[in-house]
Amino acid sequence: MGMLNSVTSRARLASKWVVEELRTFRGPGETSPYAKVIALVALLSLITVVALAANLITDYARTDHLRIATGRPGSEYNAFGKALKTVIEGHNRKIRVELVTDTHGSRDSMERLKRKEVDVALAQNDTPGLGSVRSIALLFPELLQLTFAMTPQSSAWTS
């Protein structure tokens, strides 16, 4: 707002100067035939300067929002989403990140992306794409583990 106040005060000074010049243009008590035109041009200039300054200030104060589908709280995807939010907001204060955590896995996140409910989705790399959805980056490899429950019958496999 300091910038707008500065521009406004300068515009006021300029308009006062124009009014003074108009008064002395033909002498005391006389008016120039161009006085109204000059006053109108000065007024329109003042309005233009104030409008441009207001536009610059509102553009500077604008904040963009980014919705990221991360997965349920406590999941690795959610933890990564929180870290990503911290990095994005730390590097660009004009972006506010909202983490969407009520997803039901990668497929659901991709569906939300397709419906434009989110802007970005964290999803497994083997999740089928939906139309115009494209990968941005491979963030980390996922390992697949084959596991089984130990039972007396399965102990023969380990010997």
pLDDT of the chain along its 159 residues, tens only? 565 566 667 767 776 776 676 666 555 556 666 777 777 788 888 888 888 888 777 766 677 899 999 988 988 889 999 999 999 999 988 889 999 999 998 889 988 988 889 999 988 877 776 677 777 887 777 766 666 666 666 555 555
Decide: 120 and 66 in contact? Cβ < 8 Å: yes
Residue 109: count other Cβ atoms within 10 Å of its Cβ: 25
Which 3 state secondary structure label does DSSP give 98? strand
Q: What are phi and psi of 153, to 5 degrees?
A: -70, -35
Overall pTM > 0.85: no
